[in-house]
Amino acid sequence: MPTPDQMVVAAAQAALRPLGLRRQNRTRTWVEDRGWWLLLVVLERTRGGDTRLAVAAKFLWGPMRELTYDLGGPVYWREDTGDFATERSQDGHVWVQSIRHVRDDQFATDLEQLTGIARRRVEQLRQEIATPADVARVLSAPQSRINATSWWNAFHAGAAAGLSGDVALARKHFDRIRPDRLAVGWEHDLGRRAAALGALADDPPALFHRLREDIAEMRSGLGLPDAPRGVPPEPVW
């Protein structure tokens, strides 16, 4: 009989491979290369042995080489209806974030629902951020998620705007990353990167090509192919 881990992998492979996602090595992470971003589906095994779902975008304009959740993340759902959301609702219904193996038949049923929700969230996220302009619009909207108004949110919004040719919006977001409010090392690094990109906002083609170079550097660092599909074309200036 398969172990619970093997059941998770088999269910995820069956659901996600037809969508173009590939398992990363022997992990519980499935990845689709979208050119300027990676689509991640993670069926994380918690310390308690549960299986928890996250679907997220990792933007390749850098600078973190880890598979970070730059947009999206944990998924919550109602077992009774299959409705799902990216935040736990306070509507009086029971929303869950994970499943647990009790019996093989029960776990197989729960995995079928879980991977079906993963498929739906994958397709939803693809539609939400089909272009860098979509990312800039989504991240420029009022954010309700905890930490969504962080320096990283501003950086990703600025980079997406610059890549789409909206240099005024790019400058606005890069300028939000205030050097006088930065404390720890990674914040200073991010601030320097944002300042360097913001300084190119008066030259839209230069900003665009710098971001393209950053994407190429990140792709190389992650061992991704040099000429991916989906890298945004140069805007008409």
pLDDT digit string (tens) for the chain, length 237 residues = 899 999 999 999 999 999 999 999 999 999 999 999 999 999 999 999 999 999 999 999 988 889 999 999 999 999 999 999 998 888 889 999 999 999 999 999 999 999 999 999 999 999 999 999 999 999 998 765 555 558 899 999 999 999 999 999 999 999 998 766 666 677 878 888 999 999 999 999 999 999 999 999 999 999 998 876 777 878 876
Give kind and range of the element (H or E) at residue 54: strand 51-59
Distance between CA atoms of 57 and 59, rounded to whole angstroms? 6
- Give CB contacts under 8 A, 24+ apart, made by 218-225: 218/60, 218/61, 218/62, 218/63, 218/65, 219/60, 221/65, 222/60, 222/65, 224/33, 225/33
**Torsion on CA atoms 214, 219, 221, 222, rounded to nearest 10:** 140
Distance between CA atoms of 161 and 32, rounded to whole angstroms? 23
- The pLDDT score that the predictor gives to residue 182 is 60
pTM for this structure?
0.93
β-strand pairing of 37-45 with 22-23: unpaired
φ/ψ bin of 230: left (φ > 0), alpha (ψ from -120 to 50), beta (otherwise): left
* Residue (of 35, 42, 76) closest to 56 by Cα position: 42
- The pLDDT score that the predictor gives to residue 27 is 96
